[in-house]
């Protein structure tokens, strides 16, 4: 193997190892994507690379770019709603453009804007996709026209796939954390409510069921959350006001 080939193999191994390293414990998505564009430029002989991701409204936003010109190229596509990256994101399929000057009829606004800047001649867009979900694209920019070898396209897609797994894993972790936090909040609120019921039962000589009726009635009358009223009963002198509140007839509900 030539020295060039050996160096590329070493870089390739290092790239996958370091990208995989970001998938464990605490990691930053921006750091992951910054590494991805850097390795893409080095491994795929691109002059620049950029990554836009779809937000919650499925609108692309630029999140990483190897050079300022690549960032501008991404913005030109997003602003014109045209170009290889937009088509790749919408279809979930790779889009290779050996020569942008031949695509004026396909993306007239984008191609005109690119021609005005004169930075890049060819673009290759690869989807950040896992199964049926496309979350963004990896875009490779070249100053000269020409095709990208099939082996490079496959390698670029492999790099994009590793990043996609990392992003979706982080999203799943974040969603689990949100659910866990919501559950803990509910449990904490339940504890406060039980404490408030005890306070009302003691001060008003009530059963726990009757105390909860008073608590709930007061909360509904004042359009307040049960947990908020319960916390005030426990931490302030609201208990007397709740006990003195007039009864309001309402449909029967289950006692807790």
Per-residue pLDDT, 8: 67
> Is this prediction's pTM over 0.75?
no
Please indicate, yes or no, whether residues 48 and 113 belong to a single structural domain of this protein. yes
Please indicate, yes or no, whether residues 21 and 143 belong to a single structural domain of this protein. yes
Please indicate, yes or no, whether residues 59 and 142 belong to a single structural domain of this protein. yes
Sheet holding 60-65, edge to edge: 60-65, 48-54, 133-142, 122-130, 95-97
Measured distance CA(115)–CA(158) in Å, rounded: 31
Please indicate, yes or no, whether residues 58 and 145 belong to a single structural domain of this protein. yes
Per-residue pLDDT, 17: 67
Please indicate, yes or no, whether residues 162 and 187 belong to a single structural domain of this protein. no
Please indicate, yes or no, whether residues 131 and 206 belong to a single structural domain of this protein. no
The answer to the question of residue 253 being in a domain is no
Write down how long the chain is. Answer: 256
Per-residue pLDDT, 22: 58
The answer to the question of residue 251 being in a domain is no
Establish how many alpha carbons lie within 13 A of residue 154's alpha carbon, considering only the half-sphere containing its beta carbon.
3
Please indicate, yes or no, whether residues 163 and 200 belong to a single structural domain of this protein. no
Measured distance CA(85)–CA(95) in Å, rounded: 8
**Residue 139 CB coordination number (10 Å):** 31
Measured distance CA(44)–CA(38) in Å, rounded: 10
CA-based Rg of the chain, rounded to a whole angstrom? 29
Instruction: Give, as one character, the DSSP assignment of residue 57.
Output: T
The answer to the question of residue 249 being in a domain is no
CA 151 from chain centre, in angstroms, equals: 30
Select from 23, 229, 36, 223 the least CA-distant residue to 126.
Answer: 36
Query: Cβ(242)–Cβ(221) under 8 Å?
Result: no
Please indicate, yes or no, whether residues 211 and 88 belong to a single structural domain of this protein. no
Question: In the listed set 172, 207, 227, which residue is the last one of a domain according to the structure?
Answer: 172
Q: Residue 84: which CATH number?
A: 3.30.450.40
The answer to the question of residue 256 being in a domain is no
Question: In the listed set 114, 140, 172, which residue is the last one of a domain according to the structure?
Answer: 172
Domain total of the chain: 2
Query: Cβ(203)–Cβ(242) under 8 Å?
Result: no
Question: In the listed set 172, 194, 212, which residue is the last one of a domain according to the structure?
Answer: 172
Q: Residue 199: which CATH number?
A: 1.10.10.10
The answer to the question of residue 252 being in a domain is no
Please indicate, yes or no, whether residues 39 and 138 belong to a single structural domain of this protein. yes
Please indicate, yes or no, whether residues 187 and 81 belong to a single structural domain of this protein. no
Measured distance CA(80)–CA(117) in Å, rounded: 15
Give me the domain span that covers residue 205: 177-244
Please indicate, yes or no, whether residues 112 and 229 belong to a single structural domain of this protein. no
pLDDT in tens, the chain (256 residues): 555 556 767 777 676 666 666 555 556 777 778 888 888 898 888 999 999 998 878 889 888 888 888 889 999 999 999 999 999 999 999 999 999 989 989 999 999 888 888 779 999 999 999 888 899 999 999 999 999 999 899 999 988 888 888 777 777 767 777 667 776 877 788 888 889 999 999 988 999 989 988 988 898 888 888 888 999 999 988 988 888 887 654 443 344 4
Please indicate, yes or no, whether residues 152 and 204 belong to a single structural domain of this protein. no
The answer to the question of residue 250 being in a domain is no
Measured distance CA(246)–CA(217) in Å, rounded: 9
For residue 142, what are the β-bridge partners?
122
Query: Cβ(219)–Cβ(225) under 8 Å?
Result: yes
3 state SS of 139: strand
Q: What angle do CA 20, 22, 24 make, to 5 degrees?
A: 90
């Amino acid at each position: 193997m030539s020295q060039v080939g050996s160096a590329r193999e070493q870089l390739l191994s290092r790239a996958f190892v370091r990208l995989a390293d970001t998938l464990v414990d605490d990691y930053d998505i921006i750091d992951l994507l910054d590494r991805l564009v850097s390795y893409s430029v080095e491994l795929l002989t691109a002059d620049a690379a950029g990554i836009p991701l779809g937000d919650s409204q499925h609108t692309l936003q630029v999140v990483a770019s190897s050079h300022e010109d690549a960032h501008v190229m991404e913005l030109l596509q997003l602003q014109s709603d045209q170009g290889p990256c937009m088509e790749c994101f919408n279809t979930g399929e790779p889009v290779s453009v050996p020569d942008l000057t031949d695509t004026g009829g396909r993306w007239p606004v984008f191609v005109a804007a690119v021609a005005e800047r004169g930075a890049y001649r060819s673009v290759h867009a690869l989807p950040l996709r896992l199964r049926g979900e496309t979350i963004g694209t990896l875009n490779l920019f070249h100053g000269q026209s020409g095709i990208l070898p099939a082996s490079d396209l496959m390698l670029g897609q492999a790099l994009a796939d590793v990043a996609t797994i990392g992003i979706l894993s982080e999203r799943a972790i974040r969603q689990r954390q949100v659910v866990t936090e919501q559950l803990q909040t509910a449990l904490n609120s339940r504890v406060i409510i039980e404490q408030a019921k005890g306070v009302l039962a003691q001060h008003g000589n009530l059963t726990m069921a009757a105390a909860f009726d008073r608590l709930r009635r007061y909360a509904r009358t004042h359009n307040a959350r049960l947990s908020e009223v319960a916390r005030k009963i426990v931490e302030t002198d609201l208990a007397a006001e709740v006990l003195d509140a007039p009864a309001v007839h309402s449909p029967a509900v289950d006692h807790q």
